[in-house]
Amino acid sequence: MACLHNALAADDESVRELAEASQQMLNDLASQVISLRAMAERKALDTVTQRLDKQVAQWPTETDATEKYRPCKQALERAAQLARLTHAKAANPKAATPADEKAWLQEHASLTDRRAVCERVLRQPVIRAS
């Protein structure tokens, strides 16, 4: 039983490290995913979304250990979606409809919310079994 408990604790620790890395990536890329100038170039969009998608792919299948840190993974997914919407908006600004703008604003709000929840979760102290 102790061996199983240690495996679960290690799993929780590795998921926390992944969540911290995800939060750092979000902090690094947040201004880019909302910048029309940054996302206007297809190459910039591809670079940003590939980095985000690669980080999302590192997340393990949903487990008890990942449940607590799920907002961090969701924030990565929201950031990638927002980057795509920002690119579409920047690539053809005259074609943007009010519905497009509403979707962009909703995605931006969702990303902001998920980032804040992720940060709150990461600020909570880690309780280690003795």
Residue 7 is predicted with a pLDDT of 41
Cα 6 vs. chain centroid, distance in angstroms?
Answer: 28
Residue 55 near residue 73, CB atoms below 8 Å: no
Q: Report the largest interatomic distance among the alpha carbons of the chain, rounded to a whole angstrom.
A: 63
Residue 74 is predicted with a pLDDT of 93
Residue 46 is predicted with a pLDDT of 93
For the chain, counts of helices (H) and of strands (E) = 6, 0
Write out the chain's pLDDT in tens, 130 residues: 333 333 444 478 889 999 999 999 999 998 999 998 888 888 999 999 999 999 999 998 877 778 889 999 999 999 999 999 998 888 887 877 888 889 999 999 999 999 999 999 999 876 665 5
Which tokens hold the place of 124? 């909570």
